[in-house]
Amino acid sequence: MSNKIIKISKKDSPRGEDGHKTFSVRIKEETVNALDELAIRSNRSRNELINIMLEFGVENSVIEE
């Protein structure tokens, strides 16, 4: 797997989005804290960041046989 990074642009102002599904995920507390710090620094919601990271992960995943 390559060592790519996710570039997250700082958002000018928050806005809502639709067309998404809601579900629960268990996440380690230190991961939540790191997400919250990124959210503050990028002016994005924790949810937006998780979506950015999940999309990146899906697009850059390879299944090893």
Query: What are the mean pLDDT values of the chain's consecutive 10-residue runs (65 residues total)?
Result: 74 64 92 96 94 92 84
What is the model's pLDDT at position 48? 92
If 0-12 CB within 10 Å is exposed, 13-18 middle and 19+ buried, where does residue 44 land? buried
What's the pTM value of the predicted model, to 2 decimals? 0.71
Secondary structure class of 28 (helix, strand, coil): coil
What is the model's pLDDT at position 10? 77
**Nearest CA among 50, 7, 11, 52 for reference residue 31:** 50
Task: Output 17-25 pairs: Cβ under 8 A, ≥24 positions apart.
Answer: 20/51
CA–CA separation, 24 and 45 (whole Å) = 16
